[in-house]
Amino acid sequence: MEPPTVRKRLLLVDDDPAFRNSLQEYLERHGHAVETAKNGREALTKLEQAGYDVVLTDYNMPEVNGLGVLQHVQQYHPFLPVVMMTGERSSNVAVESFVALGAQACLFKPFELQQLEEILKITFAAPLPSL
């Protein structure tokens, strides 16, 4: 992936520190500014303190899960794209994420970084909805 011409701010939410740190390093090497949260509750706090271009969130986390984060974004930041990540391969997670709450995409762990790159490229290229 070529570094983006405009530095994008991403919020990466995952309770697995090894996964979170390695994905953060990868995204930063590709030109993004990445903040992390170790759970959904921390993510909700960060969403109120700073602006982001996209949220990458795990589904299965303690306290507030990924769907809670997605619901918060849809209510308070309706134009902020959310990419759900999950190790659960059940179709219910994807259906809830896409259909009910409007996630941009759902990645099933472990995923190829190429998949994430494609999703981010599409997300960043999408025009903002008109008000």
Select the more confidently predicted residue: 11 or 101.
11
Q: How far, rounded to the nearest angstrom, does the alpha carbon of residue 29 sit from its chain's CA centroid?
A: 17
Q: What is the pLDDT of residue 52?
A: 96
Lowest mean pLDDT among 37-41, 48-52, 100-104: 100-104
Domain that holds residue 88: 9-125
The H or E element that residue 72 is part of is helix 66-76
pLDDT at 93 over 90: no
Tokens of 131: 């008000």
What integer is the mean pLDDT of 95-106?
73
In a domain, 24, yes or no: yes
Over the stretch 54-81, which tens digit does the pLDDT of each residue have?
999 999 998 899 989 999 999 999 999 9
Q: What pLDDT is recorded for position 18?
A: 96
Please check whether residue 3 is in contact with residue 31, taking contact to mean a CB–CB distance below 8 angstroms: yes
Is residue 130 in some structural domain? no
In a domain, 106, yes or no: yes
Residue 120 belongs to some domain of the structure: yes
Check if the beta carbon of residue 68 is closer than 8 Å to that of residue 40.
yes
Q: Residue 103 maps to which CATH number?
A: 3.40.50.2300
Question: How many other C-beta atoms lie within 10 A of the C-beta of residue 113?
Answer: 12
**Coil, helix or strand at residue 82:** strand
